Amino acid sequence: MAWDDAAWRRIAERGVHAALSGWTDERSIATTERFGAHNYHPLPVNIVRARGALAWDASGREFVDCVGAYSAMAHGHLAEALVREAKAQLERATLVSRAFYTPEMALFLEALAEYSGLDMVCPMNTGAEAVETCLKLARKWAYTVKGVPEDQAEIVVCENNFHGRTTTIVGFSTEQRYRRFFGPYGPGFRTIPFGDAEALEAAIGPCTAAFLAEPIQAEAGVIVPPPGYLARVREICTRHRVLLIWDEVQTGFCRTGRRFGWSHEDARPDLMAVGKALGGGLLPVSAAVGVRGAMEVFEPGDHGSTFGGNPLACAVAVAAMAVMEAEDYAGRAERSGAFLREAFERAGGCAVREIRGRGLLLGVEFAPELSPDRLQEAFLAEGLLTKETRSRTFRFAPPIATEQPVLERIAERFEAAVRRAAGSV
Q: Catalytic residue among 63, 189, 194, 247, which?
A: 247
The rounded Cα 227 to chain-centroid distance in angstroms is 23
Is 197 inside any structural domain?
A: yes
So what's the pLDDT on residue 326?
A: 98
Regarding whether 285 and 138 lie in a shared domain, the answer is yes
For the domain that residue 367 is a member of, what is the CATH number? 3.90.1150.10
Regarding whether 133 and 161 lie in a shared domain, the answer is yes
Regarding whether 223 and 94 lie in a shared domain, the answer is yes
Q: Catalytic residue among 63, 162, 211, 394, which?
A: 162
For residue 249, what are the contacts with CB-CB under 8 A and spacing of at least 6?
71, 127, 130, 131, 163, 273, 274, 275, 276, 286
CB atoms within 10 A of CB 39: 6
So what's the pLDDT on residue 425?
A: 46
Is 351 inside any structural domain?
A: yes
Count of structural domains, the chain: 3
Q: Which of 249, 263, 284, 295 is nearest to 133 (CA)?
A: 295
Is 38 inside any structural domain?
A: no
The rounded distance, in Å, linking the Cα atoms of 390 and 372 is: 10
- Report mean pLDDT in 10-residue bins for the chain, 425 residues: 90 94 95 96 96 98 97 98 98 95 98 98 98 98 98 98 97 94 96 98 98 98 98 98 98 98 98 98 98 98 97 98 98 98 93 97 96 96 95 96 98 96 74
Phi, psi values for residue 376, rounded to 5°: -60, -45
Q: Which of 110, 71, 84, 115 is nearest to 324 (CA)?
A: 115
Q: CA 417, 32, 77: angle at the middle one, nearest 5?
A: 55
Kind and range of the H or E run holding 63: strand 62-65
Kind and range of the H or E run holding 154: strand 154-158
Regarding whether 343 and 285 lie in a shared domain, the answer is no
Regarding whether 290 and 375 lie in a shared domain, the answer is no
Regarding whether 342 and 279 lie in a shared domain, the answer is no
Sort residue 228 into left (φ over 0), alpha (ψ -120 to 50) or beta. Answer: left
Active site includes 100?
A: no
Final residue before a domain boundary, out of 293, 326, 359: 326
Active site includes 276?
A: yes
Give the pTM.
0.97
Regarding whether 354 and 293 lie in a shared domain, the answer is no
Q: Which of 378, 381, 391, 383 is nearest to 418 (CA)?
A: 378
Residue 124, classed as helix, strand or coil, is strand
Q: Where in the sequence is the domain holding 231, given as residue range(s)? A: 81-326
Active site includes 211?
A: no
Regarding whether 215 and 296 lie in a shared domain, the answer is yes
Regarding whether 129 and 104 lie in a shared domain, the answer is yes
Final residue before a domain boundary, out of 275, 299, 326: 326
Regarding whether 54 and 23 lie in a shared domain, the answer is no
So what's the pLDDT on residue 424?
A: 56
Regarding whether 313 and 339 lie in a shared domain, the answer is no
Q: Crossing angle, helix 404-421 and helix 329-348, to 10 degrees?
A: 30
What are the DSSP calls for 359-370, one per residue? TTEEEEEEPTTS
Q: Catalytic residue among 63, 260, 276, 379, which?
A: 276
Q: 88 to each of 64, 312, 315, 316, how far by Cα in Å?
A: 29, 9, 9, 10
